[in-house]
Structure 1
Amino acid sequence: MIRINPWLNSIRKLIPACVLILSHPLHAAPKIDKEDLKQLRNQIESLQQALAGTEESKSEAANALRESERAVNDATRKLAALTNAQREANDKLNQLQSQSRQIKNHVEAQQLQLSKLLYRQYINGSGQKEYLSLLLNQQDPNQIARNLHYHGYLSQAHSDNINTLRINLEQLDALTRESREKSSEIATIQMKQAEQKKHLEQEKAEQTKLLARISMQADQQRREIDKLKRDEERLARLVEKIAKQLASKNRAKSLSNSRLPDASTDGNPFSALKGRLSLPVRGELANRFGSPRADGGIIWKGLFIRSVSGEEVKAIAGGRVVFADWLRGFGNLMIVDHGSSYMSLYGNNETNHKQAGDAVRGGDTIATVGNSGGNPESGLYFELRHQGKPFDPLNWVRIK
């Protein structure tokens, strides 16, 4: 994360310095270097790039968290399936155990029956002796035959019971062994799945913490960017204000007019008078054509010449007055038409000495200086226009 506290400290130190500049007389103010403002903007841009990287890391962390959650979900689903399988295996084992008890009871009954049979044969002698007893007994031959036949059935049944007993015992052992192996296998898989889920849960928790940490970092960077932008705006306004005041002071020092118009230019077309005209009043120039006004947003379309109230305002060249009246923002305003779509404008006058329709010659007094129209200081507002569009008077006059 980019450390920007030093930047904020440098900005906070810079703003009071600019305030100190404003608090001193303008002639003592040094040249304002905009390098600090440029550096601040570069720092904001760098922080914005870092924020973009943080947002990208946040997106990557969110993707990783999503994958972790998916993995946890899969593991949980597998564990649920294994739990069901374990439950089924347990049910099967219970069935086998129940079946085993039934077989065991049946085996015990067969064993009891077999033991009784063997005991009877032991008491009566061998099976061959019983067979001879049946044969030599003085009975009906048919009855003897039937008894011998039954005896064969019984012997076969005894033999079948013994075989069935053996098969049941083997089957019981096999089923019990299979059930235990299956149960053990499921328990092993379930344990591994539980370990994997635990690991995934830990990974998910770490991803969640990482995402929260990155989000907090991004929020902090946004707040720091907002602070820097506000500092930048304050500094930019301050630098602009200082620059305007310095420029205004420098212009007032460097441009001061003491030359007045005369009638030497009369008779010539106005378009031929470029560089031969004089400003209409003595005084100091407070601004330049095209420079921004102090109230901001609007540029100067003419010149404001600071002068003493009551000073005479002269016509810069011959022409005819086409407007002499009060106009909002310009106070007592006079407009002189010089022909060929050239006009000169004289505003903020204390008094207009000519009326619309009056012809004037270069150097004639047409008004006196004032501050009409709500102007805060005494002086003359002067414009030159061609075809209704203003142009820079300083390109047409000689200043002395």
Structure 2
Amino acid sequence: MADNKGFKSCNLRKKQKQWQFSSSVLLFCALLFAFFCSGTFANQISENKNQLKDIQQDIAEKEKSVKQQQKQRTELLSQLKEQESTISEVGRSLHSTQLHLNKLGNEITSLTKNIQRLQMQQKEQRKRLASQLDAAFRQGNHQGLELLLNGPEAQRKERILAYYSYLNQAREETITKLQETTDKLNQQKKLQQGKQNEQQTLLNSQKQQKQKMEVARTARQNTLTTLESALKKDQQSLAELRQNETRLRNKIAKAEREAKARAEREAREAARVRAQVAAKQKQAQQKGSSYKPTEDERALMARTGGLGRPAGQAIWPVRGRVIHSFGETIQGELRWKGIVISAAEGTEVKAISDGRVLLADWLQGYGLVVVVEHGKGDMSIYGYNQSALVSVGQQVRAGQPIALVGSSGGQQQPSLYFEIRRQGRAVNPLPWLGK
């Protein structure tokens, strides 16, 4: 019985030792696992931190690169503005030179016709003089001399003197007219030579201007190529388009504020003139006649009366194919606020209606822009121009050339951007334009 108890006690102690050993092994494994796990976790944190650091460094480099590109782009836009300003000046000079050349050509043609007429006249006068001299010679040798010598002495002398007096007078008149014709002919030839010399000088100047234009265009194309390579992302382009639109809107708003006082003054004056004209027309009608407004009255009423209801009454600013329509998508949700008309470079852009020039300046994205106000909150906008032919504050008539078609503002081809705004809101311009 005692041996049995001792055996049980011995087994219990062995089990306790085994349990303690097992517990120690388990604890050691747990600690070892925890150690490895903690090391792995620490490595993961360190790796994430390094990745974050690399990403932040990449971001910093990207931001630096973007800033450099923005700086470069600003410089390129400045270059583009200068180059297109040069093209604008040369284009205006070429336009003026061509008008002068056309005038000289007409004058030279007229002088050539005068010279031909005088040469024919000179030829006829010489022929007439030769005939007179020949007739005098023939009459002196034949019947004429006999007639003169017949009769009494006194009559004979009188007839001889009268005949030679008449003959000399006729010859003198013919010679005088011939000399006058010759003098006029020489004068016309001298004038023609002067005009031709002036024409050649202008042609040489025009050639130099065209060379200068070509150099400016090449430089502009290089600038555009560099700019386009920097504008790769659609989002950046979209943001820029929005900025361009905002700039144009702000520029117009500023010009409107500056012109508001004048516009209000003109509107009051126009209302007064309309009332006077109506009264004069009524009085004239009562008297059975009619009253026609003066040119100044008509011009004031026209440029302050707005564009009116759209009924195809306005002229086209330039003839050509519409390559972008009002409301057409540009990119994303951004849409065209006007139309774009394709036309040859240098074509005259004409005011669609009477008005006053509100703005004539270079704007990013629109190039050289001319804005004409027509009264009652209506205005027409003409963009992408090569040159402006009018200045701010100038009154213009419908059909008057106000600019030359170009591709300023970074456009790829010559065209005209045309927009109509009513009370500050862009509206479809096509209903106003005639067929």
The TM-score normalised by the length of structure 1 is 0.42
The TM-score normalised by the length of structure 2 is 0.39
